[in-house]
Chains A and B, each alone.
Chain A
């Protein structure tokens, strides 16, 4: 590990540590200074910790894990994301590849994609609930839709963006259009498709959280937040937020390392 990298890690740890310390202090101060009673639309609620101390956070975390509430929520939400993401990315990539390849198809698909592109995914939720009921299907399909739109755009642009030199060289070597698509277009387009999938993943997380907030049912991370907001129980809320943040971060790191591995041929070493 080089000096630069070590410094970088040191500084990262320093600033994160500083934040943690500052929060701890703020929470302690807040215990005395912040109001304990807040107005919730129709009545007052007592005993609210607006900035929970590490103590109460730890307590709450222990409770949530032991009662299996947190782990099951994580599993359910992650499961939905996985299902929606897989479905959406496959459909999106296939359609995007097709429209990238055949200009005529693009013409047909264009109004659809524009419509879907500029519709915030969340706005589709009420429609999906009407069509598919309140169950899993509507949520998974919502995620799939938003992922598919991003993936489709990414695949389309990736196919269109393959440098002409490669296509010309392949044609000059006598390759058939099918061979060109398989061995030239797809590999060349892959990095960009992967990048758009990363974006789609982040979008999927945003979508699922709100969808679960709106249609709050146990067990799910969104429900956890909604419940915590209804009581209100702030330690639970913060833990819920931190959990979501951690999951988003982890999934992004995973996507990033996968991307790096798959595009090894792109980076110049020589």
Chain B
């Protein structure tokens, strides 16, 4: 924790350096690093956070001339975002929602496939090669193709996330069933255990730890895919916030404000870390017997 504070302080010093010393006198690369448009000062970051959290101004009443209430935002980037009604909180929530959707739909799918190919050697021989080919295609690359089928819909953005989570969960499940649980399954079967009992009392606990750690990894993948999906094709969510709003054609051509980007990155890192910690605690609680 304290190292974080030290980091924050050091950054504040560095980013404000241009205020106190004439940066142009310094040699490159110091010169090009310490400029405020490269390293946004901490105040700018705070300002951006405040702006984005507070959200768009209320619309002026129609009979008053608009220019009288024109609020000057810290940057165009922020302005564009606020015009679209984007705030930091809503973006974060939206992205989190997409991530959770991807996990809830994709994980069972991937686990199911992993179970099937793990339990039956025959199914493994048939399905595994297909899986290997399918997972070789990055989910976000697919997004361009899916758009042709589904257009700019929410499904179009969510499918890559589901796909990414599902393909990620197959291998840990497979490993858990094949390598970890197989001996126990044989022993239990020879004791006469069948079906549901076998599943719940032997397979689940034996393969569980591998699956759980796979879930943590899939969570990280889901975040990345969600943000990427939003950067490419959404008008809400964190990815959109970072890239600067605007529609597909005009986005990323606009003047990105580094303060906003940094704020976005920090928010994503914080959110990701929170979710991962939660997942880790859950894993620890559920696998107490393995310790």
Contacts and interface: CB of A to CB of B under 8 A. Distances in A.
A–B interface present (Cβ within 8 A): yes
B125 A7 contact: yes
Contacts of B261: 123, 126-127, 130
**Consensus secondary structure, chain A interface:** helix
Contacts of B122: 11
B140 A213 contact: yes
B175 interface: no
A87 to B, nearest CB: 17
Contacts of A248: 136-138
A246 interface: yes
19 contacts: A11-B125, A12-B126, A14-B126, A41-B152, A108-B3, A117-B272, A120-B224, A120-B268, A123-B264, A126-B244, A126-B261, A130-B38, A130-B256, A130-B261, A206-B140, A228-B144, A245-B136, A248-B137, A248-B138
B148 A50 contact: yes
B184 interface: no
A249 interface: yes
Contacts of A50: 148-149
A225 interface: yes
Contact of A123 (B3, B136, B239, B258): B239
B51 interface: no
A130 B148 CA distance: 31
B130 interface: yes
B132 interface: yes
**Size bin of chain A's contact surface:** 35 or more
Interface stretch (B62-70, B85-93, B227-235): B227-235
A87 B136 CA distance: 23
Given A14-B126, A232-B148, A252 B136 contact: yes
Contact of B144 (A120, A131, A205, A237): A237
Interface string B247-271: 0100010001010011011101111
B15 to A, nearest CB: 13
Given A127-B265, A244-B138, A237 B228 contact: no
Given A50-B149, A237-B144, A123 B242 contact: yes
A180 to B, nearest CB: 28
A56 interface: no
Closest 7 CB pairs of A and B: A118-B272, A120-B224, A229-B144, A11-B125, A245-B136, A12-B129, A248-B136
A123 B262 CA distance: 9
B130 to A, nearest CB: 6
- Most chain B beta-carbon contacts within 10 A, residue among A120, A241, A242, A252: A120
A241 B141 contact: yes
B60 interface: no
B265 A124 contact: yes
A8 interface: yes
Contacts of A240: 141
**Consensus secondary structure, chain B interface:** helix
Nearest to B164: A206
Interface in A81-138: 107-108, 110-112, 114-127, 129-131
Given A39-B151, A122-B224, 13 more contacts: A12-B126, A38-B151, A117-B272, A118-B223, A118-B269, A120-B272, A123-B227, A126-B242, A210-B140, A213-B232, A214-B243, A229-B147, A241-B142
A8 B136 contact: no
A215 interface: yes
B53 interface: no
A19 interface: yes
Interface in B67-102: none
B144 A118 contact: no
A234 interface: yes
B129 A244 contact: no
Contacts of A225: 141, 144
Nearest to A230: B144
A48 B148 CA distance: 9
A264 B244 CA distance: 50
Nearest to A240: B141
A210 B147 contact: no
Nearest to A125: B231
A15 interface: yes
Contacts of B126: 11-12, 14-15
Given A127-B262, A205-B138, A214-B232, A241 B145 contact: yes
A131 B38 contact: yes
A16 interface: yes
A41 B130 CA distance: 34
Nearest to A13: B129
A186 interface: no
Contacts of B243: 126, 214
Interface string A12-28: 10111001000000000
Contacts of B142: 241
A119 B133 contact: no
